[in-house]
A and B are shown apart, each in its own frame.
Chain A
Amino acid sequence: MRKKVYADAASALDGVLADGMTIMAGGFGLCGIPENLIAGIRDAGVKNLTVVSNNCGVDDFGLGILLANGQIRKMISSYVGENKLFEKLYLGGELELEFNPQGTLAERIRAGGAGIAGFYTKTGYGTVIAEGKPTREFNGHHYVMETGLTADLSIIKAWKADKEGNLIYRKTARNFNPMMATAGKITIVEVEELVEIGELDPENIHTPGIYIDRIIVEQGAEKRIEKVTTRKREEVK
């Protein structure tokens, strides 16, 4: 029998963390991030991490707390503009940074998880992103070769899981989580709701349980909104 469910972040992370490892972390901005697992990595104190994530949180939340704690050596991201500390550390030479176009990052992770070593894309041709990479012409168009990306550990966030690790994401909190689930040697998911096997509709599973090694139920998540934007309610006449 498979035992995938763990009590909390600390027990799920036990035995899988090491200095210098590569960790993929799901989320777009602060949306769909595994809050408990990030806090668990902070508490474990592992250092020299390479973190693959679209963004790096904000100064005091999300992956920003690992940055503030000096645990990240290198980030592979597409956009880090919401994090002042990031800019300071990077410009001061204390942090390595590899920018990937967002679609290239997503596809590199998808490819990595699918056993595809590399692929050609038009994205970034003629820019600094293509420097040092093979390029090739197909049907008169120029393409850049990009490589698949994998990680020692993926930490992801889903809405619901069954005890087998079949996952359903909610709205735009899906983002990078499904690809990262496939690209980690070990993948740990943090979910809002855990149900018994058989309770999820097999037709509507977003990530099959084969990709998931460990499951925790999220506790006390803040689910912070980065930019609250609203409209006025029209007066009822």
Chain B
Amino acid sequence: MAWTREQMAARAAQQIRDGFYVNLGIGIPTLVANALPPGMTVSFQSENGMLGIGPFPYEGEEDPDLINAGKQTVTEVPDTSYFSSSDSFAMIRGGHMDLSILGSMQVSEQGDIANWMVPGKMVKGMGGAMDLVAGAKEVIVLMEHVEKSGAPKLVTRCTLPLTGTHVTDFVITDLAVFEFTKRGGTLVLKELAPGVSLDEVRAKTEAKFDVGLAN
């Protein structure tokens, strides 16, 4: 059985250490905030200028001046701070964020990420993704293992425009967990979702990887 989105988020949450400052991307990464083990002090950053993000507000208490990077209404926590976009990205680009967890369309066997553009199709923009992958101390990609069409997303070389090169540390999919030995290093399969076979992962992965499963 492949992992659900919530289970993928919970697996990603296991990578978070007590005291971490973390930026979560839009989509499945957002779910990681709800999957933290209790008792940990973790601050979530939102690149539009907020450190220390609380839960969604109660109905009727939404504040148009208080949103996250996904433009959703959020709340403060007791240690929240606000700052400008340039301060926010100084935080990100200056290597102060412990961890960035984001989604992707493709990840290559060198750890390149492509997650912002499909030429001729989608015009959205990279937002803060290029800054996050270039600046965070650790980068985890959280994505489905294959496209809806069945095409692999872990590929030899990204065919879509890149977000960053040699920037990925971990890839967590609905089928498995992979780790790069170092930035730009070798991709290693570390863990399979319950009931998922190595053969299935091999069949659905284009990128070359070593097998380093724990017993």
Contacts and interface: CB of A to CB of B under 8 A. Distances in A.
A223 B64 contact: yes
B133 to A, nearest CB: 9
Nearest to B72: A229
Contacts of B49: 28, 172, 174-175
Contact of A104 (B56, B124, B131): B131
B135 A122 contact: yes
B171 interface: no
Interface in B59-85: 59, 61-74, 82-85
Given A106-B86, A126-B164, A175-B48, A78 B125 contact: yes
B212 interface: no
B85 A54 contact: yes
Given A102-B85, A172-B46, A78 B128 contact: yes
Interface stretch (A14-22, A39-47, A86-94, A195-203): A86-94
B42 interface: no
Question: Is the interface on chain B under 10, 10 to 19, 20 to 34, or 35 or more residues?
Answer: 35 or more
A236 interface: no
Nearest to B161: A128
A179 B86 contact: yes
B72 A101 contact: no
B2 to A, nearest CB: 27
A106 B74 CA distance: 23
Interface in B31-53: 46-50
Given A230-B57, A233-B59, A179 B84 contact: yes
Nearest to A31: B67
Question: Is the interface on chain A under 10, 10 to 19, 20 to 34, or 35 or more residues?
Answer: 35 or more
Given A103-B92, A230-B56, A231-B57, A126 B162 contact: yes
A47 to B, nearest CB: 22
B123 A80 contact: yes
B126 interface: yes
Interface in A108-126: 109-110, 121-126
Contact of A110 (B67, B86, B112, B163): B86
Interface in A213-227: 223-227
A1 B58 CA distance: 47
A104 B89 CA distance: 8
B71 A29 contact: yes
Contacts of A129: 126, 130
A230 B47 CA distance: 21
A109 B89 CA distance: 12
Interface string A155-193: 000010000000001111111111100000000000000
Pick the most buried of A30, A81, A159, A223: most chain B CB atoms within 10 A of its CB.
Answer: A81
A176 B88 CA distance: 10
A217 B23 CA distance: 35
Given A81-B125, A107-B89, A227-B72, 16 more contacts: A82-B71, A101-B126, A103-B88, A103-B92, A103-B135, A106-B85, A107-B86, A123-B93, A169-B82, A172-B48, A172-B50, A174-B84, A175-B85, A178-B86, A227-B71, A231-B58
Interface of B: 46-50, 55-59, 61-74, 82-86, 88-90, 92-93, 112, 120, 122-131, 134-135, 161-166
10 contacts: A28-B71, A79-B124, A81-B122, A90-B123, A106-B89, A110-B86, A124-B134, A172-B49, A172-B68, A231-B58
